[in-house]
Each structure stands twice: as structure tokens, then as C-alpha cells.
Chains A and B, each alone.
Chain A
Amino acid sequence: MALTQEHIQLRLSEKFGDLVSKFESPYGMLSFEASKDQNLKVLQFLYDEADLNFQFLTDITAVNYPDQPGRELAVVYHLHNLKDNVRIRLTVFTDILSPDVFTVSKLFSSANWMERETYDFFGINFVGHENLIRILNVDEMDYFPLRKEYPLEDQTRIDKDDQMFGRG
């Protein structure tokens, strides 16, 4: 029997009840939301169950929604079931003042650097990660550049005139 989106939704709702919500299917990919402390449990469930079998982690990233108080940062996991060729997306929201999310690097080895990159760009603290330090930016950087509040350009550069670049 092919793995359908209704089946996945049914199994998740049976196991987690209200903790998973907002099931949607934009552009054909099932997306849902889980509460912050359940992320590892949901991913473990999706990994272990024989009929769900989501054993390939495609991507982890984060998004900054500055206009949603209490839910400013979202961690997005993309998973892939290679046997049945089904992809799903799990989003976990956290607030910007205490952005602590459990790490999934014990379950998926590929999550190691992906979580470091997410920490580097957004400042999300992955609880339990063995080596959560900056990976792409310089070590001395003291802010999290991809948050919407920070500008793209380096403010200390002297040779580019913002007026001429239409950003004055």
C-alpha cells in the first residue's frame, strides 16, 4: 500500500494528539507543526515506525518571523522516505528570548553541521549538541546575521557610498 498523506497525518495525530497541528499540503508536500519540546520525539517516531520509515534527513534550517511575538524563530526539518518516495516538512516554533530546541544529531549524523549553521545564522541553541560553535562566520562575531533586524552590508566599509547604491 502506498504511503499517503492521510495515513501519515492519522498516525501522527494518534500518537501525539494536540502536540502536532496545522497539517497542510502546499505544493504537494505535507507540512505540519509540532511543539518545541516534542521535536526529537516526533522525528524518532517517524524514523522508527516501519510503515512511516522517514530515515533520511534532507535539511534543517530556520526562519525568522519578526512579526509573530512568542513564535519568532522557526526550525524547519525536511525528511524523506526513500523507499516510498514521500517527503514531509516539520516546523517547530520557538520564541527569540529563549530559543532552545533539542538536537537531533544523535538520530541523524547529518544534523550536526546543519544545526551548527542554524545556530550561526539565527542563534538557536540546540540543547545536547556536542559542539555548538559557529561554522561559517568568523568566530569572533557577536550577533546572528540572518535575523531580519540586522543589515546585509558591513557597516564599517568605507569605499561604498550607500547613496549611490540606492540604500541611502
Chain B
Amino acid sequence: MTEAPEGYPGEGFFSTRLSDVVGLARKNSLWPLPFATSCCGIEFMATMASHYDLARFGAERVGFSPRQCDLLMVMGTISKKMGPVVRQVYLQMAEPRWVIAMGACASSGGIFDTYSVLQGIDQVIPVDVYIPGCPPRPEAVLDGFMKIQDLVGQESIRRRNSDQYKALMNSYGIE
């Protein structure tokens, strides 16, 4: 059960803001795309399993097609060879889309400060939530997921058309 947003109830009606209702619906039914490359992927599998169940937050249906998902969870080290692939997958997602960088390697390169590893996926795509850890405990993943839920629930409907968002996309070279 989730709480109703603030509004004015009445006999047979309830008035509130559209963005609140849309946010409520979106945040409790996020469809994640697990982009698992390495060790964090195994910890994500443990989070999806029955002990730490991610499904109770609404993320029951994990999809592997970017066209159908709204949350890209990048888990694991992204090397320079893989960078274009991450970008391609991000571009294929439809708005509104969010990105979680799980683990130290996806956030900033982690322990691999080498010639072949991308020092954080925010070099190629914009990231909403970073989950630190190597690998982060399943509880940390759930905490990060709840932060994404907060972001999703409070997002204004006009955000994706605003100038600030357009500037952010342009800084990554995305139209």
C-alpha cells in the first residue's frame, strides 16, 4: 500500500496535482534494464532473488530491451570498448528515462585507474543516482533504488522539455 499524495478529497472525487499522480504511478512500476557487466551484476542477481527482493518495489519486470524500459541500471566496469554500447542503449530508451550507476566502477572507474577503463559512465551518459560500493550490498542497492523512486515521484511534468534539461543533454552530445 502506498500513501495518497496531498490533495483535496471530497464526495466521490479527489483533486491533486497531475505530476503527483503520474509520479506515484511511475515510481511504483519502474521497469529496470539490468546492464550487468561484472561483479556488481552478481550482487544485483542476489538483490533480485527472494532474500532481498527488488520486486516488492515494483521492479518486478526486468526487461532487456531498452525500448521497453525506463530505468537503466549500469552495473559493473565499463571499458572504453563498451562505452559506445552504453551510449547506444541509453539513446534507444524513450523519455522519461533514469540511470543508476551501481558500484564504484560505474561511478568513477573504481579501483581500475587504467588505460582501458572508462572513469565513470557519466563521461558518456547523464546519471541520476550513484550507488557506491565494491560491490554495494543489496541493502545499498535497495536504498539507491528508493532514491530513484523519490526522484521519479517528485519530478515535474515539464522537466524533460525545460532548457536546463536540454542543456544537460547537449553537454553529452545527445539531441
Could you list which residues of chain A lie within 8 angstroms of chain B, going by C-beta atoms?
136-138, 145, 150-154, 157, 159-160, 165
Contacts and interface: CB of A to CB of B under 8 A. Distances in A.
B68 interface: no
B120 A159 contact: yes
A160 B119 contact: yes
Contact of A145 (B81, B108, B113, B115): B115
A154 B120 contact: no
Q: Is the interface of A mostly helix, strand, loop or mixed?
A: loop
A154 B115 CA distance: 4
Contact of B113 (A137, A138, A150, A160): A160
5 A-B pairs with the lowest CB-CB distances in the bound complex, closest first: A154-B115, A138-B81, A157-B119, A153-B113, A152-B114
Interface in B109-153: 109, 113-117, 119-120
Contacts of A137: 81, 116
17 contacts: A136-B116, A138-B81, A138-B116, A145-B115, A145-B116, A151-B115, A152-B113, A152-B115, A153-B113, A153-B114, A154-B114, A154-B119, A157-B113, A157-B119, A159-B119, A160-B109, A160-B113
Contacts of B80: 138
Contacts of A145: 115-116
A153 B114 CA distance: 4
A85 B115 CA distance: 39
A106 B117 CA distance: 34
Contacts of A154: 113-117, 119
A150 B119 CA distance: 19
